[in-house]
Structure 1
Amino acid sequence: MYDYLIVGAGLFGSVFAYEAKRRGKTCLVIDKRNHIGGNVYNEEIAGINVHKYGAHIFHTNNKKIWDYVNSFVEFNRYTNAPIANYNGELYNLPFNMNTFNKLWGIITPEQAKQKIEEQRKAAGITDPKNLEEQAISLVGTDIYEKLIKGYTEKQWGRSAKDLPAFIIKRLPVRFTYDNNYFNDKYQGIPIGGYNVMIEKMLEGVEVRTDVDFFEERESFEKLANKIVYTGMIDQYFDYQHGILDYRSLQFETKVLDIDNYQGNAVVNYTDKETPYTRIIEHKHFEFGTQDKTVITEEYPTEWQQGDEPYYPINDDKNNETYKKYKALADNESNVIFGGRLATYKYYDMHQVIGSALTTVEKELGDLG
């Protein structure tokens, strides 16, 4: 018997396993994939750490969490400064003075504010009802049409008029010449990749990969006093209240016989004609100098059962369905539900780790 069966070897499960082991508990971690790390897993290709499930850039304002991840692996100084490509025109993201200068030829913050205000007033939106109206009310029509509309509609597979306003309420807009996408104090990529961090967390913990919890559910449930479940919450309850919706992603990764393809780790394609949303050039996350480079084109897709679920669609219908599953989960005394799939919520990495640490302390007490 184990104290805990942990279903999923991603960030939440790995942090919980590490902390439980520190407190003298026995854990078995299982994952249906053939590797640990969940979506932060890196695959080495041509000597480059490739983010197999999309770009993962660690950022946080929480010094406790920053110190925590750095206790496993040293992080480099990578700063996320993506570029937007709109039909061959290149703009800096987030929207800042470099963006406004390229777009309008203006050079002062006051000129930029006036331009945005003119376009806001011309649009006549006072109470934004959807994403399109919210975006225009924040940054005006020019930025919306060139840098938001096409990218967002590809990302979500829906018209911006049919998407809720809250998706874009925290749109970063700066009136400084600052290309740093995140406002967080701490930011970087683990030196050697995320695998180093996850391997350290799971050191000394029994792990089985290529194992599907649901194929041997009855026997697995008998192996431990408690289960930590990080998979899809609707699947755990056999979809009795219906299926929760997600957006999925497909990745096309290519090895190129050149040392530098796009000069930046992340380039977003914001026109509607380009079928992918962005190209990742992985070597730039770790300032690589290899002779070759590896790029990944990212294609958002409609999610079907069996696909990898990436982004929960937190519209009214799905949120109401999730509430029903949450009520069932709250009645499970021997199961802990954690992570983005089990809570049907999009998390950044630092939020997953923070949630896991809070769960551990609630379950097992603070180790200091």
Structure 2
Amino acid sequence: MKYDYLVVGAGLFGAIFAHEANKRGKKVLVIDKRDHVAGNIYTKEVEGINVHVYGAHIFHTSNEEVWNYVNQFAKFNRYTNSPIAYYKGQVYNMPFNMNTFAKLWPEVRTPAEAKAKIEAERAKVAVENPQNLEEQALSLGGKEIYEIFVKGYTQKQWGRPCTELPAFIIKRLPFRFTYDNNYFNDDYQGIPIGGYTQIVEKMLDGIEVRLNTDFLENREEYENIADKIVYTGMIDQYYDYKLGTLEYRSLRFETEVLDEENFQGNAVVNYEEYEIPYTRIIEHKHF
């Protein structure tokens, strides 16, 4: 059988493309090398809790058309992302806001005081032309903010010292001079009631899907099965690394089921210290 489109990858992009093409009368085949659809937004129920298997995904947008589109497939709750940062026995609100500044500097209470304090901290280091991430972060917020909130976490996240990372990774630090812990400024945010997997399943309803199917292992067969291919995998692998290997930043997950009603009191807690060998703990029930 000849298809109009072969979609490689049953994640959010592939599913939306397949859904829209199918609506327009196109013959579509979707394949995925995993044993499930939904890609990295895949969720599954564990003891009544929808677990984000590949890390936390919070849907947020200021585009009303996008929000209305995704609400066709699931009802969203009112979850607001308000992560906590832990550093040497202290907890701080994220993103950087007046709650953070007041905890960090007890003498600071007003936005004007916070701005003045940050400018004073920046002046102490006076980095005019940052050459790496460390210098860029120091120039934006000073030494104390860099040491507590940026250095250790970033080195764990990227697997190398901040002095070896390019400055452009941190173009700005999101300082907010209000007592508001809402991480995203978008008009719409939430998490689908019942998890993300159902969204992709509904998008792919009526479309042929083949799981446990690796495009690159059967490339010759699948390149001739459709008029056009939509490929959502690793682009360097697609070209057989002819132009080199891209440095992807990956994550490793460890999952535990605790016989405890409430472990940390928040969905997301970031661990800023380099000595703590992980970046964050997600407690999925709070989503």
TM-score interval (norm. to shorter) = over 0.9
The residue number in structure 2 matching 1:224 is 226
The residue number in structure 2 matching 1:53 is 54
Query: Partner of 1:250: helix, strand, or coil?
Result: coil
Alpha-carbon distance in 2 for matches of 1:168, 1:178: 22
> Does 2:83 match 1:82?
yes
Q: TM-score, normalised by structure 1?
A: 0.76
Alpha-carbon distance in 1 for matches of 2:283, 2:207: 33
Alignment deviations for residues 26-80 of structure 1 (CA, whole Å, 9 cap, x no partner): 1110000110011000021111111111110111111111111111111111000
Alignment deviations for residues 282-311 of structure 1 (CA, whole Å, 9 cap, x no partner): 0111xxxxxxxxxxxxxxxxxxxxxxxxxx
> Does 2:156 match 1:147?
no
The residue number in structure 2 matching 1:178 is 180
The residue number in structure 2 matching 1:120 is 122
Map 1:1-368; keep pairs closer than 5 Å.
Answer: 1-105=2-106, 106-285=108-287
Q: Tell whether the 8 Å contact from 2:140 to 2:172 is kept in structure 1 after alignment.
A: no
Q: Name whichever of 131-140 and 2-11 sits farther off.
A: 131-140
Alpha-carbon distance in 1 for matches of 2:54, 2:172: 24
Deviation, structure 1 residue 172 = 1.2
Deviation above 6 Å: which 4+ runs of structure 1? none
The structure whose residues are more often strand, as a share, is 1
Distance 1:23 1:170, change over 3 A: farther
Alpha-carbon distance in 2 for matches of 1:168, 1:240: 30
Q: TM-score, normalised by structure 2?
A: 0.97
Deviation, structure 1 residue 246 = 0.8
Deviation, structure 1 residue 142 = 1.0
Alignment deviations for residues 249-294 of structure 1 (CA, whole Å, 9 cap, x no partner): 1100000001110000000000111000000000111xxxxxxxxx
Deviation, structure 1 residue 242 = 1.6
Alpha-carbon distance in 2 for matches of 1:220, 1:69: 30
Unpaired runs of 5+ residues, structure 2, are none
Unpaired runs of 5+ residues, structure 1, are 286-368
> Between Structure 1 and Structure 2, how many residues are aligned?
285
Deviation, structure 1 residue 171 = 2.4
Deviation, structure 1 residue 120 = 0.6
Question: Which letter maps to 1:78?
Answer: Y
Alpha-carbon distance in 2 for matches of 1:124, 1:171: 16
Alpha-carbon distance in 2 for matches of 1:170, 1:69: 30
Question: Which letter maps to 1:123?
Answer: V
